[in-house]
Amino acid sequence: MDEKDWESFKQKLNNKSGINLNDYKPAQMQRRISNLMTRHGVHTYMDFFALIERNPVLYKDFIDYLTINVTEFFRTPEKFSELESKVLPELLAKSPKLNIWSAGCSIGAEPYSLAMILADMTPNTRHRILASDLDVEILAKAQKGIYTSNEFKNISQSRASKHFKQENGQYVISNDIKSRVEFKRHNLLLDKFDSGFDLILCRNVVIYFTEEAKDALYRRFLAALKPGGVLFVGGTEAILNFREIGFQQYLPFFYRKPF
């Protein structure tokens, strides 16, 4: 690999997309991008950049590929069960109106899952659920709220009938649930964070981040939480140095900011 070629590619991509590949593990990123280059018959990173510069569809597909927009409702159902049976009731006991952030929300399945849980638990309360992602086209898809059977597989029959309607083999989420989620574009590694959150979810987002980028991100999440607030991470993303960062262990993959 030509190091100059890679450095030029990273700079050009950062200028175009706001994605800084220096915050990602280089071996994994280079492997992923090289696979795409081979598929499209180009041999240098800058040739690949020229290709995505000329082809908006390929550029969109590349950003989707890079940011791993794969998700589903109630992903890892047993963790959502803990969220519903233990985490949220404890948070609601301290604050009847919650402030929640789904960071890296992809197509919206995660924040809508939360909205359904809270609509069932506290039907008369409108909690704040902020959902953010780097990819504006993915956010547009999230706001439409139309899903396939793959994304739908973990939804109970009662929630399916209550919160969705079927159209042309797809599942359309209700306007009530859509209205409970606020979407915005946000770069986790660059942009300012809101604060005062009771719960932050950042799941299956940081898998290719460097250890330094993850550490900095988790420290910023800690600062954004209220005392007693909880960070919920993905099933392969246990925070090994959570005590050093300032978190307390709460449940597996849930970390609490001390009171």
In angstroms, rounded to a whole number, what is the distance separating the alpha carbons of residues 166 and 128? 27
**Minimal CA–CA distance to 163: which of 175, 174, 150?**
174
Quote the percentage of the chain above a pLDDT of 90: 65
For the four alpha carbons of 181, 235, 87 and 225, in that order, the dihedral sign comes to: negative
Residue 68 pLDDT:
65
Q: Cβ(181)–Cβ(111) under 8 Å?
A: yes
Record the tokens describing residue 198, joined without a space. Answer: 């009771």
| Token duo for residue 200 | 């932050």
Domains with residue ranges and CATH for the chain: 3-67 (1.10.155), 77-256 (3.40.50.150)
pLDDT band at 70 (very low <50, low <70, confident <90, very high): low
Q: Residue 214 corresponds to which tokens in the numbers above?
A: 């993850």
Mean pLDDT of 105-127: 95
Tell me the average pLDDT across 105-112: 94
